[in-house]
Amino acid sequence: MFLRNISLKYLSKVLIENICSVEVDSLVKRTRYSWLKNLILAILASGDVMHGYVIYKRIEEAVGARWRPSIGTFYRILMRLRNEGMIECYKQNRRTVCKISDKGLNYMVDEISLHLPKFLGVINEVLKAYVYVVKNRNTSMDLDTVNKLKKLMDTVVDSLAPDSFRHLCESKS
């Protein structure tokens, strides 16, 4: 009887750990899908018509060498976006090209307005901590990080220029 109780306790513990692990794995996959989906839509929101390889290279450029989706994952998400009506794809010179649809633009704007305040708060805290640590260790930022921060600052400054900022505020009222 004692051995049976230990086995049941052990079995229930293993089941709980495995269920939690599956839930965490599922959450990680959903989060990556969501980020990748939003990144693809953001890249296409420039208005350019692009084929998959160009979009994939832009993703690599945006996230750097630390992480990138597999080609299979990327194309599955691209096809899912097409099936959901977020993007439109068609043949052009033997290649399939994609562009964002009105539905995709609306979704992207809704997602950005929903998550941007949180995202900016997180970025602010991470950057403050990173700069603090770099200064206190008397080290320097790697060149890739410096270039991406400059690009981010240029984007922020351009979007908050008086004319752009006034336009953003007027569209809300």
Convert the pLDDT of each residue in 95-134 to its tens digit.
889 999 999 999 988 887 887 778 778 888 888 888 888 8
- Residue 70 and residue 152: Cα distance in Å, rounded? 26
Lowest mean pLDDT among 5-19, 47-61, 97-111: 5-19
Burial (CB count <10 Å: 0-12, 13-18, 19+), residue 82: middle
Which among 71, 86, 95, 92 has a CA at the least distance from the CA of 41?
Answer: 86
| Portions of the chain given CATH number 1.10.10.10 | 2-102
* pTM, rounded to two decimals: 0.65
For the chain, the residue count is: 173
Which fold would CATH assign to domain 2-102? Answer: Arc Repressor Mutant, subunit A (1.10.10)
- Residue 173 and residue 171: Cα distance in Å, rounded? 6
What the block records as the tokens of 67 is 């992480």
**How confident is the model at residue 26, as a pLDDT?**
55
